[in-house]
Structure 1
Amino acid sequence: MWICFQGSWADRLLLALLMGGIIWLWFFIQHSLNIGEPTAFVYHQDQLLAKYPLPRDGQVIHVPANGEIGTSDIEISKHGIRFVSSPCTTHYCMLSGHKNHAGAVIACVPNHIMVVLRGSFDRQQDKLMFDAVTE
């Protein structure tokens, strides 16, 4: 039982430093995702197609994104981002609804289109909107 605790003080120090580094890196990444105005980034594979800030008023932006099998229509509004239409057969991207919290990703996998939300959002809302099934 005590076999896992064997090792020199240097081993324990190295383990503690590695764990501290991992925890620091986690917080650094979370902080870097939440800097600036809430913005939607639209990608086709690894190429950035468009970048739009989320509108504060009632304005709705429709972004046509050309993918592998056709054109997907992406809606960007104060409520978040969502796929309005897509040429894929399953339409999981459309069924996932609005995404409106920092770090949210919505994708049409067959069409190779991905939308990522970055920027500062309301932290209380982020805690309430976590979806473990689609995240």
Structure 2
Amino acid sequence: MTVELRIMTLNCWGLPFPVICKNRQERMQAIGDYLRKSSFDIIVLEEIWVKSDFHMLREKLKKKMPFSHYFYSGAIGSGICVFSKFLITETMYYCFHLNGHPHKIFHGDWFGGKGVGMCSLLIDGLD
């Protein structure tokens, strides 16, 4: 059986610091509007650091992509979320052992708990 999927990944640069990351809210709204009109089956977004940004995106996409997951990790989350047209049956997050150093505050890597997120999806009866 052949299944064709349209998958998109995007680094959204969603840092919660206005001095560093200007126009974050406007950018997130624009990303949500674009994705709502798109024809992707699965969307993976990176650097969604602010919980309200994830909730806003989930609300905008829920008709087209009723299934979503945010991978929580570290002090402020992983920044990674998935939106899918297909049922997400299982998720797992593997946190990398080396995530920067807590005394290097401006690097931010340690606070994010970086790693890789994985999802199992139910697609056309295939899990």
Q: Given the two structures, how large is their TM-score scaled by the length of structure 2?
A: 0.27
- Rg larger in 1 or in 2? 1
Q: Which protein is richer in helix relative to its size? A: 1
